[in-house]
Structure 1
Amino acid sequence: MADHRERDMPRFSGRTAVRVSLLVAAANLLAQPVLAQETPQPQADEQSGEQPIVVTGSRLSASGFNAPTPVTVMGADEIARRAAPNVSEVLNQIPAFRAQSTAATSAIFGSNLGAATADLRGLGANRTLVLVDGRRVVASTVQGGSFTPANTVDLNTIPTSLIARTEVVTGGASAAYGSDAVAGVVNLILNTRLEGLRASAQYGQTDEGDAEEYTASLAFGTSFGGDRGRFIIGGEYNENKGTGDCYTRAWCAENYGPVTNPAFAVNGLPASLIVPGVRTATATDNGIITSGPLRGLEFNPDGTTRQHDYGTYYGAGIYQIGGGDERNPFFQHYSLVAPVTRYSGMAHLEYDLTDNVTFFAEGSYAKVKASQLGAQVRDLGNITIRRDNAYLSDEVQDLMDANGLTSFTFGRIGNDFGPTRMTVDRETYRAVGGLNGQFGGTWKWEAYYQYGRTNYHQAVANNRINSNYTRAVDAVFDDNGDIVCRSTLTNPTNGCIPLNLFGAGNYDPNAVSYSFGTALQDTHLTQHVAAAQISGEPFSTWAGPVAIALGGEYREDIASGTADPISAALNFYVSGGAAISGKMNVKEGFLEVGVPLARDASFARSLDLNGAIRLTDYSVSGSVTSWKLGATWEPVDQLRLRVTRSRDIRAPNIFELYAPRSTSFQTVTDPENGGAFVLPLSILGGNANLVPEIANTLTIGGVFSPDFAGLNGLQLSVDYYDINLEGAIATYGSQIIVNLCAQGVAAMCANVVRDEDDAIVSITNVNQNVNNIKTRGLDIELLYRTALGGGDLTLRSLATHVMDLTTVDVTGRGIDRAGQNGAPTSQPSGVPNWQVNTSARYSTGPFSGEVQARYISGGYIDNTKLGPLQEGHINNDPNSVNLNRIKAYWYFNANAQYDLIRDGDRSVQLFGAINNIGNRAPPVAPSSFGPTNNVLYDVLGRTYRIGIRVAY
């Protein structure tokens, strides 16, 4: 039953890798307009005045210093050209990033709606550190039934109108910045020397007419006091009206999904089938009996019955092929893009108290309001109905009597009750004040205090109260012939109102009011930071000045919150989060040294050594040391080589330590029940015994900048990275817990609760130092600029080749997710082997235009399974599947700008952008919330944006 689309997907081989490498190194269509630089320089049109240079990845500030860690720079003009409403949209197009929380994925991430996070290397957003001007930012995301990690920074909190550039360190930087900088650092550099007024407004929508988006920004900067003072202020407003669920797109209506084939050993078909027309077999809109001799008896809207249509195939689990209800309930209601409104504002003030001492202060405020429709009630054959249920027809009761039944199990999709309705209101404040200065010619210092706070409110309405619902559906006749809840017979004042489940819409609205409620969560995050550092050049050697930086930091994080009593008791169908109370602090000291070893020698134009060490003491998880040692060598003017070896850390955050128990639902296959797909409750929570993660990182690379004829203006950088992370904080995952239990690991079986029919009811899945993660690969960046036909042509490319992304679990079993383009349910996401972004931009006079191509290499839906085109595939193996291959994908975008006015500092510009010009639908790759990987592939289709910018 192999899908025909798999046959035209070529096997990914070493020859393909070579072709892609040549494409990156020599193609004339080049990628994402950013470039690794040792000392990144801002574009001339990004700011006014002299902007201080910040070298992310190092604390040293010596002139001529070149960091051995790769740094990718993205200027403010890149965000402007893309007409991106926030910086994360452009960052997530850089191949080294894995888009984790974006407009197109925020709707499936429950809590943390509207947050835009950064995830380098696919290691998780909590292993990428986000800074603003080199300083930490209070976290925005919280714990609460979400796939987005808690304690990560929302990139939307800083208005893009005030960002001069973004620097991305693609390597470990814990020695410089502390915890979380395992995969790298994103540093948002503010345009503190902005002069004049900047304003913009834009509108966008999809080809389908939805996801309407309005964005407006305003920024102003001025100097005062005889240029001793500088002040900037900016604000941004963005509203996206969102979309419907994936059934608003034709590709979703095909209903691709996974179906279990328990007879794979004898019927010649693979154990798992990914096919169109998938429906639920154990639950329908009107209700269905799922056990015993009456199995398959389905109710009609009026309560009468008919035989359920099991379609063309049904073996086990919750899915069948064809028949049944028209839509897959797991794909319903969740918006492709959630409606989100956000506001952000920021101001920065600095004043030179003397020629050598400057006072600075900064404040920011961001607010996000978002909503989404979520899961409707899905009882997948797990409700017990007794023979004396008052709402059963005489026909069904007679059938039960004839078959000697006193009860049966029952499944129902509660579309008539409607989906849950989640609303999120999040505010983030930040205030910074401090002094910096210089003395002795080369010495610089800074000291500051920072306060940050996030207030998070979440409500999940129309949410089933599990205990009330269970009582309400168990309806019987009392002695007066009235229908009441069985529990009312012994407790007449319990308030229970009976609920009729037999046929859609046949219920008393008062019964729904009793059985459903609103889950409430309020969480507050507070952060205090006090830090000081000093850097300079104490002496010189034969090769130049030695640079040194040292400093210390104290940081305190506090989390507090409340939840309604029903949430606290884990009694809602969809968890609304839980109350948290905890605090932690850390004391850190660091030292960094840069030593020049050679200048203008016979063997080197330059040779520099760089080393750093950071001592860290956490109040909860103990002490840990991070360090790095790096070198840069320039044998000739055109070539610079670099290497860094580092030991990086990530300490457990306050949610991983103290989060109370919360619940969600995750589909798993049950190996003790014929591999059936089931949907048990997953219970999550914190663990105060966690210890810091330790990463050993190696990066080796170089930059080639030829200055000979024909190649002037070319820059090429290639960097190899290798990260080994030990003791990664994670949950085992519901599927792994179930599998290990089936393999006889008793400790895992204690986490799995089954009912009297041996069906899985719940899985306890709390945080542990559980995995080791290894990833390695190549980053390749290319830039070429030249004059052409009276204008300027810029060709650029950015590519990442992931060779390995292996997670080793507690059993020592390793799974390599490199090349896994799918996002299988209840399993870690993978990354493509290759991602390439290419662009060509041409500017002449008032016009500038750009075309962009994004390449995603072919891969697999699930690396733990084998499809027909994979070596070792045999249909009668339990890991066999009929479709596992995803072919390579290209997306094409374009943008253009036209200057109506350009007169010195005054300008008026019209701009527009089209993304996914070909309106390409995503590939088949079923996941929890749709028939594709919503994170990696575009699910919206062609989108348009137009707008105007004004500068004065």
Structure 2
Amino acid sequence: MGENDMANRLENRARNRRVHLGASVIALGMALAMPGTAQAQDNEENAGTIVVTGSRIARDGLDAPTPITVVGAEQIDRQGATNLSQVLNDVPAFRPQSTPATTAIFQNNIGANTADLRGLGANRTLVLIDGRRVVPATVQGSSFAPAGAVDLNMVPTSLVQRAEVVTGGASAAYGSDAVAGVVNLILNTNLQGIRASIQGGITEQGDNEELALSLAGGTGFAGGRGRVVAGIDYVDNQGSGDCYSRDWCALSYNTISNPFVDPNDPSKGRVLAGSPATLIMPNARTATATVNGQIIGGPLAGTEFRPDGTLFKHDAGTYYGAGIFQSGGGDPQLAFYENFPMSSPSERLNVFSHLEYDVSDAITWFAEGSFSKVSANTIGAQLRDLAPRVITRDNPFIPDALATQMDAANLSSVRVSRIWNDLGAQTGTVDRKIYRGVTGIKADLGGSFTLDAYYQFGQTDYKQRSYNANIKQNTIFALDAVTDPVSGDPICRAVLLGNPAAEGCEPLNIFGNGSPSAAAAAYVNGTAMQDTTLKQHVASVAVQGSLFQLPGGSLGVATGVEYRSDDAQGTADPISTALGFYSGPGAPISGSVDVWEGFVEVVAPVTDMVELNGAVRVTDYSTSGSVTTWKVGADFAPTDWLRFRATRSRDIRAPNIFELFGPLQNSFQSVNDPENGNAQVLASVLLGGNANLEPEKADSWTAGVVLQPRLGPGTLRFSLDYYDIQLDGAVSTLGAQVLVDRCSGGSAELCQFVDRNASGEITTIRNFNFNLDTLITRGWDIEASYRIPAGNGDVTLRGLATIVDDLITVDSTGKEQDRAGMNGSPVSQPSGVPRYILNGYVTYTTDPFTAQLQVRHISAGAYNTSLVGPGDEGYDPMRGNSINDNHIGGWTYFNLNASYDVWSKGDSRLQLFGVVNNLFDKDPPVDAPSSFGPTNNVLYDVLGRSYRLGVRFSY
């Protein structure tokens, strides 16, 4: 299929969906009567002429040129949020891809919270602080946090005045990375007085305990010519228990393979006749490995070993002869779900200060500095030898009973698989320190023109340690044990043969849980270390003002020049550099990118009703050359309560340092192998950068309507915006499972990334970065609010909704997958986004009491849009993409918060507040297995009902 045919087909499908959904979208938006406005949360926050995110030109905040969602400090306080991401992720346009609940066994970037708009990835959402870029804080790895992203942990919530979210491309205004949109965090640098708070939190299960302290203050000096603001936040979260600390999780649902009776003759049907290829079943356990060890293949297959040397037959439960998992039987717990916390613990400290001084009536000098320290830890995976080890007959640890059976069967070796709980799980720690300093001037140039110039330096010091990490080669040496002919004791064969690489080897006993000696455990395990320093320099000069009068007002213009330098340098231990650990942070990185940019923006109020706006930016990258981005837009306001708006833009994202220069890293992932009966295998997956990557290019447009009519006793504020983003040449990895599937499906060019051994079994998958894909997302954003008097107070109905028509990936082979309406996050695959999310607030405010009920609804959807279940079009249990249950129902959560002013006088107060999240203690769907457990931790609450209680003071 040609590119034009593909584009036409995608466009036709989008047009059909728009026709069918258009009426329901409008009806839904009007019925909501809950969301907040697209431009502002509260009038007082946006009064006057300010620079609104999405534009470099100042205007009234209610006249935002592009769709903007605002989250104010008041809402952050109400929810008792200790991290800004906790509130931003309630905005339906965000996908909570990187949170403490999505850490699982992944140790890279633990403790990070990133912003992911539209499900396009956090690396395509630009995060700013007061309109300025921020040094990235995440590194390359197998976690759900992409490398080169900003960590929202570094922002002190006590000083956040509001967060402005541009839900559309803004590269022409701000440069690279703003493909999905912009999150601009506006800090309160004019604070007067003191603010302090202390709060604690805990779940109903008694875990995830949290203590949060904050203190901020500001004052003037030198007769008001100078102003200083400073704040400090401290948060200590203890994390939660593992999957088996929750009854719903302990049901342990996972996927069970149902292969063909004869892989070479599908006409004979599947082992479980009439059922599909994949079955989601409870009580999943590893079928091909156990904590005691079991023999795989041959006449002694299924033999397990007790620690005392006796043998027993493996209880296979429900197992159909293929894949990793069985249902029932086996070990007491599933190794893939045990040990690691459902929400990882972290400790955070933020310090921020801002100083400004009016040098003259026309010039203000400012400087600010911040420091953030995040320490986090988690429990990773134990060594899982699902691919069996070959143990020869001369191994001295072979139990006598097994030796007798091997001799009787004339076996020179057996193949043994093992879950090494007795070697201990790998544990990981990450310490992240972020330094940021800014200095500059703001000047009145005369007339309407002003100048803003600054220099900024940021540095992230990233330190990762993985303790008890298995050393692959040492384990090979240690398992190959023989009897020392001199002492009669077990000895490593390689030592006996004089191999210098095996110096210090201690024999490792594979037979029976608890069999390894302390010396052997110390030999096969070590500490993986990686330190990375990220540095960013930014210099910017911008001028904005009005040139002349048009019939509708002044012609506004802004122009400027910016320079940015990003550099990453790292070190790692020798074993990590050689990819010698079973799972580790990998080799160090070294690379840098320099960028020069120039931009011009114009706003032309042609008449009182029509405004045109446009921007162009030329950017030159040291790695990939020059690109041009642009935006054109129009506003039409026929009345004071009705406004139409539309924008069209070309946006870009240049590959970041890790995508360009990221070294090889090793991980293990579960994949299904279509060439071996769709059997599940645990394969080595290599990640790595590509210095030949080119910038991604996106064509985006939005079109919408804003209504602000007086309705009854209040004013309704309503906005409906359609968005369409098509990103070509997307830098991404296809994913291990996709590479295997495409290769097996006939895409020969992808088979070079899948290695197999002589038996045809997958050994290694190279999941590198390439300009592979086209990403397309289309949908609707709806926001509305309505405030009415109620007795001595007010009731505010507010809400937000995002409806996703498409989230399509088209890979280099022309194969497309739409993850819109995909509520699952299958192992080794990207997670999708629901068809729609609704987030509504009902707030009652009176003096001295405020209460708010939050309702969050996630639509029903598919577990995996690449699979087909009963009731889906095209379902055929004989196909490899069939599954017994591909549906997840709609899910609704309720949260409640309230506050009471014990004492207040003017702007001073002492306030008690409390929050109950997941008010009705609703469990998540339990049959949507992911890398985190039996549900999708990205979308659903896995902790259950939780409480926060605290006190605030301001003076």
The reply to whether TM is greater than 0.5 is yes
Q: 1:914 maps to what in 2? A: 916
Aligned counterparts of 1:256 and 1:152: Cα–Cα separation in 2: 33
Aligned counterparts of 2:586 and 2:194: Cα–Cα separation in 1: 43
For the 8 Å contact 1:613–1:627, the answer to whether it is kept is yes
Q: 1:781 maps to what in 2? A: 783
Residue 146 in 1 paired to residue 151 in 2?
no
1:828 to 817, 827, 830: 830
Aligned counterparts of 2:649 and 2:738: Cα–Cα separation in 1: 31
For the 8 Å contact 2:572–2:588, the answer to whether it is kept is yes
Report the residue type matching 1:373 in the other structure: I
Residue 624 in 1 paired to residue 627 in 2?
yes
Aligned counterparts of 2:410 and 2:275: Cα–Cα separation in 1: 37
Aligned counterparts of 1:945 and 1:119: Cα–Cα separation in 2: 26
Q: 1:327 maps to what in 2? A: 333
Residue 549 in 1 paired to residue 558 in 2?
yes
Report the 3-state secondary structure (helix = DSSP H, G, I; strand = E; otherwise coil) of the residue aligned with 1:613. strand
Aligned counterparts of 1:484 and 1:18: Cα–Cα separation in 2: 76
Deviation beyond 6 Å, 4+ runs, structure 1: 12-20
> Which shifted more, 380-389 or 92-101?
380-389
Q: 1:569 maps to what in 2? A: 578
For the 8 Å contact 1:51–1:191, the answer to whether it is kept is no
Q: CA deviation at 1:403?
A: 2.8
Spell out, residue by residue over 1:334-389, the C-alpha distance to the aligned partner (whole angstroms, 9 max, x if none): 21111100000100011111111110101000001111111011110331212221
Q: CA deviation at 1:223?
A: 1.1
Q: 1:82 maps to what in 2? A: 79
Aligned counterparts of 1:65 and 1:819: Cα–Cα separation in 2: 33
For the 8 Å contact 2:550–2:607, the answer to whether it is kept is no
Q: 1:849 maps to what in 2? A: 851
2:548 to 536, 539, 557: 539
Any stretches of 5+ residues in structure 2 without a counterpart?
Answer: 1-16, 262-268
Query: CA separation of 1:736/1:717 partners in 2, compared to 1, >3 Å: closer, same or farther?
Result: same
Residue 161 in 1 paired to residue 166 in 2?
no
For the 8 Å contact 1:143–1:577, the answer to whether it is kept is no
Query: CA separation of 1:797/1:62 partners in 2, compared to 1, >3 Å: closer, same or farther?
Result: closer
Aligned counterparts of 1:551 and 1:13: Cα–Cα separation in 2: 39
Aligned counterparts of 2:636 and 2:783: Cα–Cα separation in 1: 19
2:685 to 667, 682, 693: 682
What is the percentage of aligned positions where both structures have the same residue?
Answer: 54
Spell out, residue by residue over 1:746-803, the C-alpha distance to the aligned partner (whole angstroms, 9 max, x if none): 4322222223432212111111011100000000001000111121110001000000
Q: CA deviation at 1:492?
A: 6.5
2:303 to 281, 297, 301: 297
Spell out, residue by residue over 1:621-674, the C-alpha distance to the aligned partner (whole angstroms, 9 max, x if none): 221111000011001111011000000010000011111101111111011111
Q: 1:588 maps to what in 2? A: 597
Aligned counterparts of 1:63 and 1:777: Cα–Cα separation in 2: 28
Report the 3-state secondary structure (helix = DSSP H, G, I; strand = E; otherwise coil) of the residue aligned with 1:839. strand
Query: CA separation of 1:711/1:410 partners in 2, compared to 1, >3 Å: closer, same or farther?
Result: farther
Query: CA separation of 1:63/1:897 partners in 2, compared to 1, >3 Å: closer, same or farther?
Result: closer
Residue 378 in 1 paired to residue 378 in 2?
no
Q: CA deviation at 1:501?
A: 1.0
Q: 1:797 maps to what in 2? A: 799
Q: 1:487 maps to what in 2? A: 494
Question: How do 1:728-877 residues align onto structure 2 when only pairs under 5 Å count?
Answer: 728-877=730-879
Figure out how many residues of one structure are paired with residues of the other and give that number. Answer: 926
2:373 to 367, 375, 383: 367
For the 8 Å contact 2:451–2:542, the answer to whether it is kept is yes
Q: CA deviation at 1:51?
A: 8.6
Q: 2:518 maps to what in 1? A: 509
1:25 to 15, 18, 30: 30
Query: CA separation of 1:492/1:650 partners in 2, compared to 1, >3 Å: closer, same or farther?
Result: closer
Q: 1:422 maps to what in 2? A: 428
Query: CA separation of 1:482/1:106 partners in 2, compared to 1, >3 Å: closer, same or farther?
Result: closer
Aligned counterparts of 1:951 and 1:932: Cα–Cα separation in 2: 42
Report the 3-state secondary structure (helix = DSSP H, G, I; strand = E; otherwise coil) of the residue aligned with 1:559. strand
Spell out, residue by residue over 1:30-67, the C-alpha distance to the aligned partner (whole angstroms, 9 max, x if none): 25xx4311xx47664x79xx997230000112568933
Aligned counterparts of 2:897 and 2:541: Cα–Cα separation in 1: 44
1:721 to 723, 743, 747: 723
Aligned counterparts of 1:229 and 1:124: Cα–Cα separation in 2: 41
Query: CA separation of 1:367/1:486 partners in 2, compared to 1, >3 Å: closer, same or farther?
Result: same
Spell out, residue by residue over 1:446-474, the C-alpha distance to the aligned partner (whole angstroms, 9 max, x if none): 11100000001110001100000111011
For the 8 Å contact 2:199–2:212, the answer to whether it is kept is yes
Residue 438 in 1 paired to residue 444 in 2?
yes
Question: How do 1:865-904 residues align onto structure 2 when only pairs under 5 Å count?
Answer: 865-904=867-906
Query: CA separation of 1:420/1:780 partners in 2, compared to 1, >3 Å: closer, same or farther?
Result: same
For the 8 Å contact 1:110–1:147, the answer to whether it is kept is no
Report the 3-state secondary structure (helix = DSSP H, G, I; strand = E; otherwise coil) of the residue aligned with 2:709. coil
Residue 205 in 1 paired to residue 202 in 2?
yes
Root-mean-square deviation (Å)? 1.8
Q: 2:294 maps to what in 1? A: 288
Report the 3-state secondary structure (helix = DSSP H, G, I; strand = E; otherwise coil) of the residue aligned with 1:468. helix
Spell out, residue by residue over 1:493-519, the C-alpha distance to the aligned partner (whole angstroms, 9 max, x if none): 621110001001112100110100000
Report the 3-state secondary structure (helix = DSSP H, G, I; strand = E; otherwise coil) of the residue aligned with 1:36. coil
Spell out, residue by residue over 1:246-273, the C-alpha distance to the aligned partner (whole angstroms, 9 max, x if none): 1110011111000110038341111100
Report the 3-state secondary structure (helix = DSSP H, G, I; strand = E; otherwise coil) of the residue aligned with 1:312. coil
Q: CA deviation at 1:144?
A: 3.1
TM-score, structure 2 normalization: 0.95
Q: CA deviation at 1:27?
A: 4.2
Report the residue type matching 2:38 in the other structure: A
Q: CA deviation at 1:231?
A: 0.7
Query: CA separation of 1:744/1:869 partners in 2, compared to 1, >3 Å: closer, same or farther?
Result: closer
Aligned counterparts of 1:107 and 1:200: Cα–Cα separation in 2: 31
> Which shifted more, 226-235 or 936-945?
226-235
> Which shifted more, 455-464 or 319-328?
319-328
Spell out, residue by residue over 1:880-922, the C-alpha distance to the aligned partner (whole angstroms, 9 max, x if none): 1111100000000000000011101220000000000110111
Report the 3-state secondary structure (helix = DSSP H, G, I; strand = E; otherwise coil) of the residue aligned with 2:820. coil
Query: CA separation of 1:109/1:78 partners in 2, compared to 1, >3 Å: closer, same or farther?
Result: farther
Spell out, residue by residue over 1:545-591, the C-alpha distance to the aligned partner (whole angstroms, 9 max, x if none): 11111001110011001000000000101112321111110000001
Report the 3-state secondary structure (helix = DSSP H, G, I; strand = E; otherwise coil) of the residue aligned with 2:299. helix
Report the 3-state secondary structure (helix = DSSP H, G, I; strand = E; otherwise coil) of the residue aligned with 2:50. coil
Query: CA separation of 1:380/1:19 partners in 2, compared to 1, >3 Å: closer, same or farther?
Result: same
Query: CA separation of 1:255/1:845 partners in 2, compared to 1, >3 Å: closer, same or farther?
Result: same
Report the 3-state secondary structure (helix = DSSP H, G, I; strand = E; otherwise coil) of the residue aligned with 1:172. coil
2:418 to 399, 412, 416: 412
Q: 1:7 maps to what in 2? A: none
For the 8 Å contact 2:201–2:210, the answer to whether it is kept is yes
Report the 3-state secondary structure (helix = DSSP H, G, I; strand = E; otherwise coil) of the residue aligned with 2:51. coil
Report the residue type matching 2:951 in the other structure: I
Report the residue type matching 1:814 in the other structure: E
Residue 558 in 1 paired to residue 567 in 2?
yes
Q: CA deviation at 1:859?
A: 0.4
Aligned counterparts of 1:426 and 1:51: Cα–Cα separation in 2: 39
> Which shifted more, 698-707 or 871-880?
871-880
TM-score, structure 1 normalization: 0.95
Q: 2:10 maps to what in 1? A: none
Report the residue type matching 2:213 in the other structure: A
Aligned counterparts of 2:61 and 2:757: Cα–Cα separation in 1: 68
2:701 to 698, 701, 712: 698
Report the 3-state secondary structure (helix = DSSP H, G, I; strand = E; otherwise coil) of the residue aligned with 1:567. helix
Residue 135 in 1 paired to residue 132 in 2?
yes
Q: 1:9 maps to what in 2? A: none
Report the 3-state secondary structure (helix = DSSP H, G, I; strand = E; otherwise coil) of the residue aligned with 1:479. coil
Any stretches of 5+ residues in structure 1 without a counterpart?
Answer: 1-11, 600-605
1:937 to 937, 940, 953: 940
Report the 3-state secondary structure (helix = DSSP H, G, I; strand = E; otherwise coil) of the residue aligned with 1:831. coil
For the 8 Å contact 1:24–1:797, the answer to whether it is kept is no
Aligned counterparts of 2:748 and 2:489: Cα–Cα separation in 1: 49
